Amino acid sequence: MHTEAFFTNIRAVLLREIGLARESVHVAVAWFTDRQLFAALLERQRAGVPVALCLTRDEKDINLQPGGLPFAELQAAGGRLTVVEGRLMHHKFCVIDGRDVLTGSYNWTNRAADSNEENLVLTTGDAELARHFLREFARLTGQPDPAPDAALPRVLKRLGLIQSLLALHEVFQPDAAGRLAALVIAGIGVSNGVASYLGQKRGSIATLKVL
């Protein structure tokens, strides 16, 4: 994990990070008029990297005014656009590949690039931080939460330990694996989705033979 703050050449940082995206790009930004940044998003979408964009619609209608950015092109390429109306969606954040987060004062506008005093903080390799922003993105857009359950990796690790115990002759009773999996579920208070996943795994674990 690495965090760095930028106060100049912010557009270049955004262009670089968008260009590195290989899995997904989620952007929530109040105002968006920068054609270079839009072109970078469109290129990623056309390259097969899903892009989801959330904008605000204010009384000036800056984002959707005639002659503005061609958001329809992004949608035609398969990208997703959500426009928040009735309240000011004032966020400025971008999540790359579910693990890198860019956020700060910087709106994706020409004025921000050319004349404003702005800041941007880039945190890479922090999936937990990214999950928080992805959940907020899901709330804003009304879309399913794209952030994976944080408990799942811990559960899978514990299941691996259970398998190791079986292999080391530590468990001999026929139903022991099933009971141990149940303890894993109860012990860490995981979500229903993870509990269901573990329930599916119990059968395969219970059939492991002691070597």
- pLDDT tens column, 72-98: 999 999 999 999 998 999 999 999 999
The single-letter code of the amino acid at 93 is F
Confidence of residue 61 (pLDDT cuts 50, 70, 90): confident
Q: Is 60 a catalytic residue?
A: no
| Catalytic pick among 61, 90, 145, 157 | 90
- pLDDT tens column, 106-145: 999 999 999 999 999 999 999 999 999 999 999 999 977 6
Q: Is 91 a catalytic residue?
A: no
Question: What average pLDDT score do residues 100-108 get?
Answer: 97
Higher pLDDT, 189 or 119: 119
Q: Is 100 a catalytic residue?
A: no
pTM score, whole prediction = 0.69
| Catalytic pick among 58, 97, 126, 149 | 97
Confidence of residue 168 (pLDDT cuts 50, 70, 90): low
| Catalytic pick among 26, 34, 91, 92 | 92
